[in-house]
Amino acid sequence: MLNLAPQHDVVGIYRPRNPQTSAYFRCVQDHFEQLQMLWNDRYASRCGFWRPYVTDVIYRYLECGDLHFGFARVRCQDCGHEYLLAYSCKRRHFCPSCHQRRVVEFGEWLCTQVLESVPHRQWVFSIPKRLRIYFLFNRKLLAKLSRCAWKVLSAYLKQAVPFDDAVPGAAIAVHTFGEFQQFNPHLHLIVTDGCFLRESTTACPGCCTFTKALGTTAKDLEELFRYEVLKMLKAEGKISDAVIENLLSWHHSGFNVYCGPTIWPNNDQGLEDLARYIIRACFSQERMTYIADRDTLDGQAKVIYRSKDGRTSKTFEALDWLAQMVTHIPNKSEHMVRYYGYYSNKSRGMRKKAGTDEQVPALIESDLSSKALRRNWARLIQKIYQIDPLLCPKCLGSMKVISFIEDDALIKKILIHLGLWETRNHDPPKSNDTHIPTIETELTYDYTYSQLPPIDYWTQ
C-alpha cells in the first residue's frame, strides 16, 4: 500500500533519547561513588576539595532522561498515538544532552537579544600552565581573569575612535578545559570590531553610531594582558614579586592572545556558530571509549579519549578521567559568560527602558527585524537534529504535551502498566584497601528507580 501521508521538511521522526545506554553514563554510574570516597586521599591535593554541589549534579545527571523520575505525556491530536518524554536534569557542563540544548538556546539568544548588527571578532586569551592552579583552587579568580581581558581589549579598541566616551561591547565566556580535559582556564570573547558612540557625540541625537576599528593586532595585547593578570594575582595574595620576576624572565611568556577574522552583520550563521562555540561542552561523547574493569587485563576501568582531529588519543584510568571532568562543573549560580561595555546588563537595561534597545546602529545596513522570543523546545530540537519532536511517527499529525506526571505512585503505576518499570541491583563501589574497611558479607544495593530499557517502546 502506498504511503500518502503529507510531506514534511524534516528528515526524520523524533525518538526520545536514552542516555543510560551511552559509554559516558556507564562510566559515571560505575565510578562516581568510588571517586567521592577516594577524593580526599587521591585527588584533593591537585584538584581541590570535593564540592557538595558536584554530588547534586552527578545524581541529577543519573536521573536525566529516566522515566522513573517523572515524565510528560505527548499525544497525537489526530490518531491518538502517545509516548512518554522523560524530564531532563538541566545541568550544564556535565550532562551532554542538557548542555547541548543550552548551547543552541544561548546561540539564538545572544544573536537576537544581545549582539547588534555590527562587525564582530572572536578573541581568545590564555595564560601559562604555572598560573592555572590558582584558578582551580579559587574559582572566583575566573571572573577577575575576564575583567583583566576586558580592561586590556576595551582600552585597545577605544584607541581607534577619536571620542572619549566611545565604548565597545563584549560577551566573554570562561573555559576551564583543554584538549584532553586537563584544567586549562582561558577566555573566548565575541567583541565588536570597533566602538559605539554615545548619543552626545553624534550629529543626530537619538541615533546610534558605530565606528569600525582598523588594524587590530593580537600581539599588541599580550604584554599588557600579562601585566594585568600578574597584578591581579599579586593583589589576591597568590603570587609574590619573586614569582613575577621569574615569569617576566621567560623567553616565551606563556600568555597568548588570538584574534579571529571579522564576522560581518550579514553572516548570521557564522555569528551564531561562534556563539555556540564559546560555550561548547568540555568533551565529546563520540570521542570517548569506555572499557569496564572486567574487560581490562589489570582490572582497572579505562577511558580512551581521542583528539579533535582523530590523530592522537590518550588513555586514562576511569577514576582519573572522571576526576578531571568534575573540575569543570561550575558552582551553583556561577556565571561562565559575562557581558561588558555596550553589551553589559546595565547598558542593555537602560536602552530597553529608554525604548532604544531595538535600534539598529547607523552606517551599517541590516535586515534585522524585531527580536524574536526564545524558541521553544520543539523548534530547538528541530533545528539541531532536523527532526520534529511533535510530529506523530504514526500518521505524521501534530502532537502536543497533555500532562506532566511527577507523583511517585502514579509514575510507578503507569510504568508497570506499560511494562517499563524495572528494579535493578547496583554493585557497591570498590573499597580502598588502605582507608576503607572491607565488608565480608555480600552486599547489593537495590535501586528502585532504575534505568530505561534499551527498546524504543514508543514506536511499538
Q: What is the pLDDT of residue 438?
A: 39
H or E segment at 447? strand 445-447
Segment 367-426, tens digit of pLDDT: 323 333 333 445 555 555 556 677 888 888 888 888 888 898 998 898 888 888 877 556
3-state secondary structure of 388: strand
What angle, rounded to 10 degrees, do the helices at 219-235 and 141-158 form?
Answer: 140
Give the span between the Cα atoms of 345 and 108, in whole angstroms.
Answer: 17
Q: What is the pLDDT of residue 454?
A: 37
Segment 197-248, tens digit of pLDDT: 865 444 454 567 888 887 777 888 898 999 999 999 999 999 999 999 999 9
CB-based contacts of 403, cutoff 8 Å, min separation 6: 72, 73
- The amino acid occupying position 384 is I
Q: When comparing pLDDT for 12 and 345, which is higher?
A: 345
Q: What is the mean pLDDT of residues 105-129?
A: 93
H or E segment at 185? strand 183-192
Q: Residue 322's beta-bridge partner residues?
A: none
- 149 and 125 Cβ atoms separated by less than 8 Å: yes
Neighbours of 336 (CB within 10 A): 18
Q: What is the pLDDT of residue 356?
A: 65
Q: What is the pLDDT of residue 183?
A: 94
Q: What is the pLDDT of residue 312?
A: 93
Residue with cell 547496583: 426
Q: Which of 19-23, 120-124, 346-350 has the highest mean pLDDT?
A: 120-124
User: Taking the complete model, does pTM exceed 0.85, yes or no?
Assistant: no
Instruction: Kindly indicate the confidence band of residue 257, based on its pLDDT and cuts at 50, 70 and 90.
Output: very high
Give the span between the Cα atoms of 143 and 55, in whole angstroms.
Answer: 24
Q: What is the pLDDT of residue 426?
A: 60
Segment 53-65, tens digit of pLDDT: 999 999 999 999 8
Instruction: Kindly indicate the confidence band of residue 328, based on its pLDDT and cuts at 50, 70 and 90.
Output: very high
The mean of the pLDDT values for the chain is 81
